[in-house]
């Protein structure tokens, strides 16, 4: 697991933000000793008449396929979780690939990091933090 990886994670829900949640693919923004900062993704379609939230990035089906994902998805850099790097949160942690689905190309990683950094600089109120 490295920054820039899309990884299987039990991302915490809004209702239970301190407990492992439902299986998702998360985007690893950073790694610290024992923790990973992970952004939420969802494959639920975003309503066409609703603007994307600040910090959201839509990946169409072709972009998703290049990242080993089966359908279009929305990356929410405004919904983050600082999670312990344990099997409770990352169920495939003990397997050889550690649940990594894909690693974003360097240019995409840089673009996503700029988006996340700009969002955090604008206002911490724009960020929804979850995790223990």
26-81: pLDDT as tens digits:
999 999 989 999 999 998 888 888 888 888 999 999 999 999 999 999 999 999 99
Residue 131: inside a domain: no
CATH code of the domain in which 99 resides: 2.30.30.110
Number of domains forming the structure of the chain: 1
Rounded Cα–Cα distance for residues 100 and 48 (Å):
30
pLDDT band (50, 70, 90) for residue 16? very high
By the 8 A CB rule, do 32 and 85 touch? no
Residue 115: inside a domain: yes
Q: How far is CA 74 from CA 60, 98, 124, in A?
A: 9, 22, 21
Residue 52: inside a domain: yes
The range of the structural domain enclosing residue 43 comes to 5-126
Q: Give the gyration radius of the chain's Cα atoms.
A: 14
pLDDT > 90? residue 129: no
By the 8 A CB rule, do 28 and 1 touch? yes
Distance of CA 86 to the CA centre of its chain: 17
Residue 76: inside a domain: yes
Rounded Cα–Cα distance for residues 125 and 55 (Å):
12
pLDDT digits (tens, 9 = 90+) for 92-126: 988 888 899 999 999 999 999 998 888 888 777 77
């Amino acid at each position: 697991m490295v920054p820039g990886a899309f990884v299987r994670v039990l991302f915490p829900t809004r209702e239970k933000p301190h407990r492992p949640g439902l299986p998702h693919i998360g985007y690893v923004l950073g790694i610290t000793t024992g923790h990973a900062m992970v952004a939420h993704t969802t494959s639920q379609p975003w309503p066409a008449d609703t603007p994307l939230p600040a910090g959201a990035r839509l990946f169409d089906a072709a972009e998703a396929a290049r990242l080993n994902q089966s359908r279009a998805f929305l990356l929410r850099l405004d919904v983050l979780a600082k999670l312990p790097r344990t099997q409770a949160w990352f169920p495939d942690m003990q397997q050889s690939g550690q649940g990594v689905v894909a690693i974003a190309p360097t240019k995409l990683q840089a673009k996503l990091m700029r988006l996340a950094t700009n969002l955090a600089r604008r206002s911490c109120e724009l960020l929804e933090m979850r995790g223990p």
